[in-house]
Structure 1
Amino acid sequence: MNRSLSFLFSLVFLMVFGQMANAQTPLIPKLIWKVNRIDLGTILEEQGLQRAEFEFTNPQDSSFILEEILAECGCTSVEFSRDTLKKGDKGKVIISFDPTSAAGFFSKLVVVKGDSGRIQDSLFLEGIAIPYPTNLKLAYPVKLGSLGFRLKKINMGDVFDNEPKVKYVEFFNFGEELLEQGKFSFNAPEYIKMEQVQPFVRSQERGLIRITYDSRLKNDLGFFEDEVSLSWKSSPSDEFKLHVIADLFEYFPPISKDKLEEVPQLLIAQKVIDLREISANSIVRRQVTISNAGKMPLEIRKIQGNCDCLTIESPKNTLAPGESIQLNLIFDPMGRKGIDQRNIYLFTNDPLNPVQLILLKSKIE
């Protein structure tokens, strides 16, 4: 047998033997975690250590020993049992986080090791930590009665209709009254819920209000601003009014590459319309062509301008594949002067670009 043939035979033998060895090596399943990521929400520094429990189950036929847990930083401490777990047994890993170690958003990694290093799982602890301010009056400049807030309006940001959006708003109790969780009440649209987080907020203490915005109940798209009021029954005369703003969007699940050509697709012929110099006394009319370049019907969910001075007319709300229509834009510049820009938002069922913008620019004389 020549050297080349001998080398080829050896190589084939090693490959086959390696595959057999790998096939005979049992795969060790990881632990089954109830969740591997916990969001603590918003935490005030003075609330102290925050605890989170991660529950797991041992799915292995053999017994399991949790040997070591490595934390990303000294701001987290860990408690766990080193007892032997049989198949189906459950256990807990308790992680404590010190909020004085962070400011703003945090995400801490914890690595769980067991079975002589054969199992290594990752856990994540997340949240927002707010340090105690050095100057309370500067930190909470918006005064509503005896309460201090950071901003005049609560911005919920982007809210999608697949799940409610939650935000925590901090406040400072500059008054003398004890604010009890059980006496907290609010008046808001059905899609906005509010609750006091702490059981008590004493005089000269900070508190948190948990706001939940459910856009499915709102059943609309675009920008909205709502006035809400809150009070404590111990002092019904002290009703505090806040403004909640949000941008509402429709949620579209991810699409596989082979489906990209089949979905609706909105094309706008002209996304920037420059009217140049116009008179404040003259109403301006323009047309914009929009088309459906996809293979499924395109539905116009909503068309929203950022000003009452805009009127947008559409001859229909559904475009067949390949169809085009003309949008009529009517702009009344009365009472305006100088460089002006108007935004027109188109909400459709195009899953790749569900919201598109048309800019209307002008210089008003």
Structure 2
Amino acid sequence: MKKLFLSIISVFVLFSFTNAQQKGANISFEKEVHDFGKIKEDDGKVEYKFMFTNTGDAPLIINNVKASCGCTSPTWTEKPIMPGQKGFVSAVYDPRNRPGNFNKSIFVETNTTKGKDILRITGEVQAREKTIEDYYPKTLGDLRLETNHFAFIKVYSNQIKKDTLKIYNSSNSEMKVTFSNLPDYLKFDVVPSVLKPGAKGYILGTYDGSKVNDWGFVSSRVNVIINGESGNNDYITISGKIEEDFSKMTDKEIANAPKIVFEDESFYFGTTKSNDKIEHDFKFTNKGKSDLVIRKIRSTCGCTTVAPAKTVIKPGESSSFKAIFDPGSRTGVQTKTVYVISNDPKNPEIRLSIKGEILNENAQNKDANKNK
């Protein structure tokens, strides 16, 4: 009898505890995953409302709803949902420029014990048929281009590199495209030489690295002349990174090559005022077995450098150059970069940095006046 009594008490306590746990708001969705199936990119945005019921015994509040990417825009019932009442979380998906399958999550934050629910939308976007405007988005008058930038990326100093840029004549007349302001290392040919109305063609660009009297990142701008006329904004930009070709060096040549070693590759200047210029000498030594040649030193915005007294450093010799950072109107944490290009085959480009914090003097003066 005693055992039966204890069993009844245990069941009662467990039932009471379970009921206590169920107190409060509770969200129950009709479905947590919706598949849109196949949708057309041209048809625009699609929407689905995830309906739910508050199956708890207290008002349900949705605190926030977040989507896993910007292509999904959620909205939801913002007022408290009483026990037994319904609400919704709406997911809107924009298929524009997003062909293919998608699987996106929506995170629902509530005042329930669980705190967060995850919904998902899936489907497949059928790509729209591309137009001439899609293939040739850039325009110079009636000339359409796939891009207005020739990016040759890496070009060795002993290399001739070629690339093409597709073009289209969107006018009703024949078009002859020529160029001006070409640097010596660039050559452009248009194929065909005369574009008929609605015709496609391409610009063949030839980049001669041996004619570039520079190292590292090099950019230029070439004027585009259409049927003898050119506007202020009718130009193509060209970029390339000029590097020395060490690929043909033998193991013996590499072993006897120069080697640049800096005492420090990063300088931290701490905290200073905006009207204080920061200066630092970057010291380096040639620890190799042949002459070290400093090809170029360049810096990022706000930082200037003074070339070393000698650009050819014998084995065992040391040298330095000064980097000067003028904060100007800049405030807050600053990081400036200095690039050193040399004939060291293992470290042809070394990245140095200048870091620190610039105080906002105006803010400091205001705080000082407040404390007076």
For the superposition of Structure 1 and Structure 2, which TM-score range results when normalised by the shorter chain?
A: 0.5 to 0.7
Classify 1:236/1:344 alpha carbon distance in 2 versus 1 (closer, same or farther; 3 Å): same
Give the distance between the partners of 2:169 and 2:185, measured in 1 at CA.
27
Classify 1:293/1:170 alpha carbon distance in 2 versus 1 (closer, same or farther; 3 Å): same
Could you list the per-position Cα deviations for residues 277-330 of structure 1 after superposition, in whole angstroms to 9, with x for gaps in the alignment? Answer: 333211001122211111111111221113353223413212221122232211
Is the Cα–Cα contact under 8 Å of residues 173 and 203 in structure 1 kept in the other structure?
Answer: yes
Matched position secondary structure for 2:255: coil
Aligned to 2:18: none
Letter of the structure 1 residue corresponding to residue 314 of structure 2: A
TM-score (norm 2): 0.56
The answer on 1:359 being equivalent to 2:358 is no
Aligned to 1:191: 185
Give the distance between the partners of 1:318 and 1:185, measured in 2 at CA.
39
Aligned to 1:138: 134
The answer on 1:327 being equivalent to 2:321 is yes
Aligned to 2:339: 345
Matched position secondary structure for 2:219: strand
Letter of the structure 1 residue corresponding to residue 173 of structure 2: E
Classify 1:175/1:337 alpha carbon distance in 2 versus 1 (closer, same or farther; 3 Å): farther
Match of 1:175 among 165, 171, 174: 171
Match of 1:303 among 274, 288, 297: 297
Give the distance between the partners of 1:258 and 1:191, measured in 2 at CA.
33
1:105-184 equivalences in 2 (<5 Å): 134-180=130-176, 184=178
Letter of the structure 2 residue corresponding to residue 237 of structure 1: E
Give the distance between the partners of 2:224 and 2:143, measured in 1 at CA.
11
1:94-105 equivalences in 2 (<5 Å): none
Report deviation, 1:264: 0.6
Match of 1:236 among 205, 228, 231: 228
Aligned length: 230
Letter of the structure 2 residue corresponding to residue 261 of structure 1: A
Moved over 6 A (4+): none
Give the distance between the partners of 2:179 and 2:280, measured in 1 at CA.
49
Which has more radius of gyration? 2
Classify 1:257/1:190 alpha carbon distance in 2 versus 1 (closer, same or farther; 3 Å): closer
Could you list the per-position Cα deviations for residues 253-291 of structure 1 after superposition, in whole angstroms to 9, with x for gaps in the alignment? Answer: 433333433111111222222334333211001122211
Letter of the structure 1 residue corresponding to residue 172 of structure 2: E
Match of 2:244 among 250, 264, 278: 250
Letter of the structure 2 residue corresponding to residue 157 of structure 1: I
Give the distance between the partners of 1:152 and 1:362, measured in 2 at CA.
38
Classify 1:339/1:317 alpha carbon distance in 2 versus 1 (closer, same or farther; 3 Å): same
Report deviation, 1:199: 4.6
Match of 2:312 among 318, 328, 331: 318
Report deviation, 1:200: 4.2
Give the distance between the partners of 1:255 and 1:355, measured in 2 at CA.
18
Give the distance between the partners of 2:218 and 2:188, measured in 1 at CA.
18
Matched position secondary structure for 2:316: coil
Q: Which runs of 5+ in 2 are unaligned?
A: 1-128, 360-372
Could you list the per-position Cα deviations for residues 206-253 of structure 1 after superposition, in whole angstroms to 9, with x for gaps in the alignment? Answer: 321011111322221122221111224xx2124531121222222234
Match of 1:260 among 230, 254, 262: 254
The answer on 1:291 being equivalent to 2:285 is yes
Is the Cα–Cα contact under 8 Å of residues 342 and 360 in structure 1 kept in the other structure?
Answer: yes
Is the Cα–Cα contact under 8 Å of residues 186 and 194 in structure 1 kept in the other structure?
Answer: no
Is the Cα–Cα contact under 8 Å of residues 173 and 202 in structure 1 kept in the other structure?
Answer: yes
Point out the more displaced range, 270-279 or 213-222: 270-279
Matched position secondary structure for 2:293: strand
Classify 1:320/1:187 alpha carbon distance in 2 versus 1 (closer, same or farther; 3 Å): closer
Letter of the structure 1 residue corresponding to residue 204 of structure 2: R
Classify 1:338/1:178 alpha carbon distance in 2 versus 1 (closer, same or farther; 3 Å): farther
Report deviation, 1:189: 1.4
Report deviation, 1:159: 1.5
Letter of the structure 1 residue corresponding to residue 319 of structure 2: I
Matched position secondary structure for 1:291: strand
Report deviation, 1:135: 2.7
Give the distance between the partners of 1:212 and 1:309, measured in 2 at CA.
33
Give the distance between the partners of 1:231 and 1:225, measured in 2 at CA.
20
Classify 1:341/1:148 alpha carbon distance in 2 versus 1 (closer, same or farther; 3 Å): farther
Aligned to 2:5: none
Is the Cα–Cα contact under 8 Å of residues 266 and 298 in structure 1 kept in the other structure?
Answer: yes
Matched position secondary structure for 2:228: coil
Matched position secondary structure for 2:134: helix
Matched position secondary structure for 1:260: helix
Letter of the structure 1 residue corresponding to residue 235 of structure 2: K
